[in-house]
Amino acid sequence: MANLNIRNKQERTYQAIVVGSGASGGWAAKEFGDLGVKTLLLERGRDVKHIKDYPTTNMLPYEFKHRGKLPQKVLDENPIVSKCYAFGEDSEHFFAKDAEQPYIQEKPFDWIKGYQVGGKSLLWARQVQRWSDYDFEGPARDGFAVDWPIRYKDIAPWYSHVEKFAGVSGNLDGLDTLPDGEFLPGYELNIVEKHFAQKLKETYGGDRHMISARCAHINGPHEQFTAQGRAFCQNRNLCQRGCPFGGYFSSNSSTIPWALKSGNVTLRPDSVVHSIIYDEEKGKATGVRVIDAHTKEMEEFYADVIFVNAAAINSNAILMNSTSSRFPNGLGNDSGVLGKYFAFHNYRAQVNGSYEGFMEYTTSGGRPTSGYIPRFRNVKKQETDFLRGYAGGFSAYRGGGYVADARVGMDLKNNMLNPTPPDGPWRVGSHMMGETIPKESNYIALDKDKLDPYGLPTLKFNVSYDDNDEKMILDYQEQVSEMFAKAGFTDIRVNDDHRTPGLDIHEMGGVRMGKDPKTSMLNGNHQLHAVPNVYVTDGACMTSTSTQNPTLTYMAFAARAAHHAVSESKKG
Amino acid sequence: MNRRIALRHLALISGGLALIPSCDFSSDDILAAYENLKVTASQKQLLGDISNTIIPAGELKGALELEVPDFILVMVNDCMTSENQMLFSSGLAAFPDYAKNKAGKKYDKLTAKEKEDLIQAGIDLKPAETPEEEKDRAIMYFLNTTKRLTMQGYMASEYIQTEIIPYSLIPGPYNGAALISETQKPRING
């Protein structure tokens, strides 16, 4: 490949390079911008500007040719991304198609990708629950993975920092398992959800709870968000289209425009990072090699500090592809753990039921969140024959609608135009979010013989469930069924949808943090042990997974690490 | 119909020369807009009549006036597997004979009430998985699909969503304990 370094090297030199513009990369760029660090923000996908590049955001249902459904041809060509619940006619353009980056499934793995400025922050479920020390202390207490080099006190101020800017709605629930944060008013639980929460409190002596899930939505106006050009959430529930109000947090609506406004940050879309340049004499990284997504030509950019925020899997891939005589097995990979101890969240099980109470009530309007059951299993001590536990989603809703089996003709027409008021019982449902245990045998690696459309090695996946996961599924089904029964719910049914790992879109690990360079890649400041001017603060850095939706933690990590990098550079 | 197909085959065999006046079969030309389906203009007309029987005009517009048949064909053409497209197409092709056998006369000679009865009977068919009942399976599939897509195309039309039951992109704040008695809406007569 031609190496056309025609532009002056100085023009291609910055103080910091951030690889990836999703939730974590956007935060690194924003902090660097605020701190006066000249930064290059690289994104492999196209540019997506807030509002301007949300083509479907204000479309009405009848303006979609297929009323939201994707053509069969698209589904046939994209068997993997088609499995994602959010992939539809209104959001298709924010997902990377399967052919963009083929990969090898030694074991089945659904890899869902968002390749554009903002990454998957345009598409995420916006659930932001803090970790507690019950989570950070998990591996050390239960003897798996390695001990996290940080604790809650290290990250708590950064959670606050991120929450205040991103906008997080939630209630002060006072739970030690799910610390409270800097919240805007929380969203209301409905009458049946409140009933369930109350019954749990009564039945389980304060050990089990159901709360309004904290979400990255602006519930109520606030000066800080006006300064970002964002307004409060309108309960549209069309978030996957991009929000014209900036009602939920995305890099596009929040951190990236803020970073660009600082004048210190340069955004460069269509830039696929090939590898990180390691200078053996200096003993540090000096820049990155970038493939232009259109011309496929390679160019180098240089900086004092490199942040790798390419999303968990690609951050692994970039380090693996960054080889030198000092690091023949990937940058910073003295321990040999790069790509290993890869984990995810187990979303396989659901429990559903009915509730015959509050028959005179229903709900109206919209809300962007629902209920959340914080982890209650094995929290303070080991209770079961499996390690760790699970959180649960929870919601209650009332049916109603038109009678679809009415006789054709005027009967059917009048039925459709006059939906029946809800007459059946409330429906209640929960889904599990289980911690999986990182293991050496769950790994991702590169196949350097098979190249992708950019000439980069393809990834191969060897990730699967284990016995611990199977036991946890049964326990979740049993416990939540019992909780439903105690609340008076009936017609309780459990399900295991046997989904493939990856569809949770919570892939984590491979570049884990740890105290010991012999068994981990990163130190407690997210620096590669062996190359301290390279930081990884996205899902790749996760030592363990716990049960919370992880994005908030990546954002806090990125902000904290950016400040660390700046304080290190001041030390000279 | 057979004569027309034979004529067209002849035209193809003879290299598509315009030996036959085009008006002779133009109404039965295959519609190019639906490239995965072999739907003729007269079949589309029939589909329009069926959809308008499923949701007829009254005080409010019916399916045909809202161009629901176009929507149905777009959905079948774009969003169905080829097996289901085949089943739909063969059900549509078999429908005229089905009407004649079941109702004793051609579909377009039936009264509105007879058309309704015929379509409802076809929707309710419970054919066995035998080769003899293959046609009935296609009829049942075709009519159920047409009913479903008619309902979807009608309710998700600009007319319904702007003039009759206005759709709002902003649904308003959440009320988690709304009394059903207070959410009643005035009756709409179709």
Q: Which helix (H) or strand (E) holds A553?
A: helix A551-571
Same domain, B23 and B39: no
- Tens digit of pLDDT for each residue in A502-517? 999 999 999 999 999 9
- Rounded to an integer, what distance in angstroms lies between the CA atom of residue A397 and that of residue B176? 9
Please report the ipTM that was assigned to this predicted complex.
0.91
Whether B51 maps to a domain, the answer reads: yes
Same domain, B101 and B18: no
> What is the pLDDT, as a whole number, of residue A402?
66
Residue A382 confidence class, pLDDT cut points 50, 70, 90: very high
CB contact under 8 A, B170 and A60: no
Residues 6+ apart with CB under 8 A from A522: A511, A512, A513, A514, A528, A529, A535, A536, A541
Sheet with A16-19, strands from edge to edge, namely A265-268, A39-42, A16-19, A305-308, A534-536
Whether B185 maps to a domain, the answer reads: no
- Tens digit of pLDDT for each residue in A27-65? 999 999 999 999 999 999 999 999 999 999 999 999 999
Split into its structural domains, chain B has a count of 2
Q: Return the half-sphere exposure (C-beta side, CA atoms, 13 A cut-off) of residue A119.
A: 28
Same domain, B45 and B116: yes
CB contact under 8 A, A421 and B180: yes
Tell me the Cα Rg of chain A.
24
- Tens digit of pLDDT for each residue in A119-140? 999 999 999 999 999 999 999 9
Same domain, B58 and B147: yes
Q: Tokens representing A43?
A: 């994104």
What sections of A438-499 are H helices per DSSP? 467-486
Is residue B26 pLDDT above 70, yes or no? Answer: no
The mean pLDDT value for B46-63 works out to: 98
- Tens digit of pLDDT for each residue in A243-282? 999 999 999 999 999 999 999 999 999 999 999 999 999 9
| Closest Cα in chain B, distance from residue A221 (Å) | 14
- Tens digit of pLDDT for each residue in A300-339? 999 999 999 999 999 999 999 999 999 999 999 999 999 9
Site of tokens 């004649």 = B100
Same domain, B91 and B160: yes
Residues 6+ apart with CB under 8 A from A570: none
Same domain, B11 and B61: no
Same domain, B24 and B101: no
Residue from the list A61, A73, A410 with its beta carbon closest to the beta carbon of B190: A410
Residues 6+ apart with CB under 8 A from A347: A431, A432, A433, A434, A499, A503, A504
The mean pLDDT value for B53-72 works out to: 97
Neighbours of A524 (CB within 10 A): 15
> What is the pLDDT, as a whole number, of residue A572?
67
Residue A115 confidence class, pLDDT cut points 50, 70, 90: very high
Q: Which residues of B touch A58 (CB under 8 A)?
A: 169
Of the candidates A470, A318, A456, the one whose C-alpha atom is nearest the C-alpha of residue A390 is A470
> A118 with A22: CB under 8 angstroms?
yes
Is residue A385 pLDDT above 70, yes or no? Answer: yes
Residues 6+ apart with CB under 8 A from B113: none
Compute the mean pLDDT over every residue in chain A, rounded to the nearest whole number. Answer: 96
Same domain, B48 and B131: yes
Mutate to test the interface with B, among A413, A416, A418, A428 (most CBs of B within 10 A): A413
> What is the pLDDT, as a whole number, of residue B23?
39
> What is the pLDDT, as a whole number, of residue A419?
83
What sections of B14-133 are H helices per DSSP? 41-54, 68-79, 82-103, 112-123
Q: Which residues of B touch A367 (CB under 8 A)?
A: 173-174
Q: Tokens representing A161?
A: 């920092």
* Nearest residue of chain B to residue A189 (CA atoms): B176
For chain A, give the percent of residues with pLDDT over 90.
Answer: 95
More confident residue, A222 or A307: A307
> A395 with A125: CB under 8 angstroms?
no
Q: What 3-state class would DSSP assign to A83?
A: helix
> What is the pLDDT, as a whole number, of residue A145?
98
Whether B43 maps to a domain, the answer reads: yes
> What is the pLDDT, as a whole number, of residue B190?
85
Same domain, B14 and B73: no
pTM of full prediction above 0.90: yes
- Rounded to an integer, what distance in angstroms lies between the CA atom of residue A228 and that of residue A254? 6
Is residue B10 pLDDT above 80, yes or no? Answer: no
Is residue A470 pLDDT above 60, yes or no? Answer: yes
- Rounded to an integer, what distance in angstroms lies between the CA atom of residue A128 and that of residue A187? 13
> What is the pLDDT, as a whole number, of residue B27?
54
Residue from the list A69, A360, A364 with its beta carbon closest to the beta carbon of B175: A364
Is residue A212 pLDDT above 60, yes or no? Answer: yes
For residue B25, give its domain range.
1-30
Instruction: For B151, list phi and psi in degrees, rounded to 5.
Output: -60, -45
Q: How big is the A-B interface in CB pairs under 8 Å?
A: 136
Q: Which helix (H) or strand (E) holds A16?
A: strand A16-19
Q: Tokens representing B36?
A: 């995965």
> What is the pLDDT, as a whole number, of residue A338?
98
